Amino acid sequence: MSVTVRRVAALVGVLVCLGGAAVMSASHRNQLMRQARLAAEADAEKTWQATADALQALVPPMSARAQRVAKLENIASIIRSTTSHSDLQELGSTLKDARSSEAWLNDPLAGTSFTLFLGREPALTETPALVETLKGQLERAELAPSGAFVVEGQQLWLVGVARTEVENLSGQGAFVGVAREVTAADLPPTAAGVALQVVMGDSKNALSAGAKDDVEHLARRRISMKRDESPCCVTRDLVPGVSLAVLKDPKPTLDAAEAEATRAQWPRFGVGGVLSLVIVALALAGGRKPKVEDARDALLRETQQQLRQSQEVLQKLSTGAFATQQAGAVPNVVPLGDPVLDSTQASVSTSRYEVVAPLGEGGMARVAIAVVRGAEGFKRTFVLKRLKPEHVANPELVNQFIDEARLGASLVHSNIVPIFDFGRDADGYYLAQEYILGRDVDTLVQRSMEKRGRPLEAPLVATIGQEALKALSYAHTRTTDDGKAAGLVHRDVSPANLMVSKRGEVKLLDFGIVKSADRVTQTQAGVVKGNLFYMSPEQARALPVDPRSDLFSLGMVLTTAVLGQPLYDGNTMYELMTRAANGPTAADLERVRAGAGPLVGFLLKALAVDPAARFQTATEMANVLAGVMPPAPAMELEELVRFLVGDDLEAERQRFAGAS
């Protein structure tokens, strides 16, 4: 083969490799974007359904109000003393005066208008335009009080009708109808990026909720829904004549998919580049005359083998073997032993822990869901934490990892996530923790604000606090083998490190930076470790800490749960460090007084800047909390978890069960 032909063939090969990588990257990106669009559409549908359920929940109280009005003695006495509609009409002014009197101010009619029917004909009414609408409800009210949304005069009304228990002097029965106009204040609270509109028929009037820009976007989409295919909005009838439109901004989901597609293209182009280099090397090698024929044959065989391996990798890439985590979803399982993955992942197959799905990584370690298999189909799921390969040669980090495993394994308590195993294999050091199907307190607080528009209730917060204090009391009072106090201080008590299981169990986790007299490694003077939003002032100042520091941090966690957001804020690390070092300000404590309800006094003591003014032990803190607010039954916490994240937990359970 001539030099020119070899060069042309090499160029064609390079173009094919790089072009193939580009085509597969584009295909993968399209697949990710399609999945992201479907996820955004499903999210918008879920938001619509939640909003519709919240609005429909307004109907039963209105029918119940009609029933209470029908039982009012004021109404009954009027009906009993009449014989005809004319009698009732003559009493109209008297009834009007009665409604304005003090005796009627707090009755079930407050905030509503009413209509009184004698038989099936209206006798008295405060809303003439709604008479016929209310009359249409009478047949249903014969059997039981009824309620409904109705549209009248381009306005949305909520009405209820109930039959009275008395008759007039002529033996005629009566019905009472109540009505009030639905306003924007009746719409459920919206999260960021969510807008709502309730539209009555063809009217341009609409009840709206949400940020101004989001509401305007929704209004444009509602008018031109067919010309805009972005998966942000859902519009359907709430009841006949009333449509509900919901916007849920898909940008975060689509942006995450776009970013993932960008990250995923680099391995493909990397493999394409390797193939191109191999082809160029083969062409150059073919241009020289080898001195030994066997050497040429060996090079040719080696190159052909490399090409086959690279083609297999490209094929895996094209079939989605490297699909990675999308926003809010558990990642697909990464094939083990793949030549394009790093050495740690590639050799995990030699470990007895089989990785099911990665969970994430920090500066020191990687965390994944893993399964251990045994005889007769035995298997158990763990959270596998593995020291990063680049840290294996660092004695200080290795000792810290060993400390975490050793201390964690020594803590055996129902409210502490245990460590079951520690070791070293071909991939380096690892530890295995209990896998808890649940969510941390941080997630529960966020979901509560999103789905219910309010933080956690005080009894539930008290339950979380009591269970966490059991764990801290156990850890703080631990002794060493020779009977001396271990001096354990967690130093990172935060909402992210308090897990609530599907069954409502509260677990404290992550003793990675615990202070202990028995540690091999000790924190250097002046070094601050922990979460700045929750650490005690003395910890933020890098001063010596004792168990009272953990009690302050738990107080901050419970304050976050009852207020719905952290007490501190800051735009920079320096601002947060300054706030943590100074402790709660007068304005912070005022927020606690305004929003903590019955837990105010308890939390103010827990958040004292001076450790001597706080609770001195976890047991003391638990006893005071029990006196202030008896904890809610564990069943209520379980029900809250099911309501806030039940669907997510079930999906997670099924994914891991299928993968393992």
Q: Which of 138, 178, 136, 182 is nearest to 157 (CA)?
A: 182
Given CA atoms 126, 128, 134, 135 in this order, what sign does their dihedral have?
positive
> 């520690």: which residue's tokens?
422
Does residue 412 contact residue 508 with C-beta atoms inside 8 Å?
no
- CB neighbour class for 161 (10 Å; exposed up to 12, middle 13-18, buried from 19): buried
Query: CA dist 73 to 99, 145, 172, 462, Å?
Result: 13, 18, 17, 43
The helix or strand, by DSSP H or E, that contains position 162, with its residue range, turns out to be strand 155-163
Residue 225 Rama label (left phi>0; alpha psi -120 to 50; beta): alpha
d(CA 10, CA 281): 9
Given CA atoms 407, 412, 413, 417 in this order, what sign does their dihedral have?
positive
Does residue 348 contact residue 427 with C-beta atoms inside 8 Å?
yes
Q: Which of 606, 610, 611 is nearest to 622 (CA)?
A: 606
Residue 101 CB partners (closer than 8 Å, separation 6+) = none
d(CA 222, CA 28): 32
Given CA atoms 296, 297, 298, 302 in this order, what sign does their dihedral have?
positive
d(CA 536, CA 1): 77
Residue-wise burial string across 364-395, b where 16 or more C-beta atoms lie within 10 A, e elsewhere = ebbebbbbbeeeeeeeebbbbbbbbeebbeee
Residue 154 CB partners (closer than 8 Å, separation 6+) = 200, 201, 203, 205
Q: Which amino acid is at 237?
A: D
Give the active site residue among 214, 492, 510, 550.
492
Question: Residue 108 CA to chain centroid, in angstroms?
Answer: 39
d(CA 558, CA 499): 13
Does residue 174 contact residue 168 with C-beta atoms inside 8 Å?
yes
SS3 301: helix
Given CA atoms 633, 637, 638, 639 in this order, what sign does their dihedral have?
positive
Backbone angles phi, psi at 208, to 5 degrees: -125, 150
Q: Is 53 a catalytic residue?
A: no
Tokens matching residue 16? 């094919």
For the chain, percent helix, then strand, then coil, each to nearest 5?
Answer: 50, 20, 30
Residue 569 CB partners (closer than 8 Å, separation 6+) = 579
SS3 517: coil
Length of the chain: 660
For residue 32, count other CB atoms closer than 10 A to its CB: 22
Does residue 237 contact residue 39 with C-beta atoms inside 8 Å?
no
By annotation, the residues acting in catalysis are 492
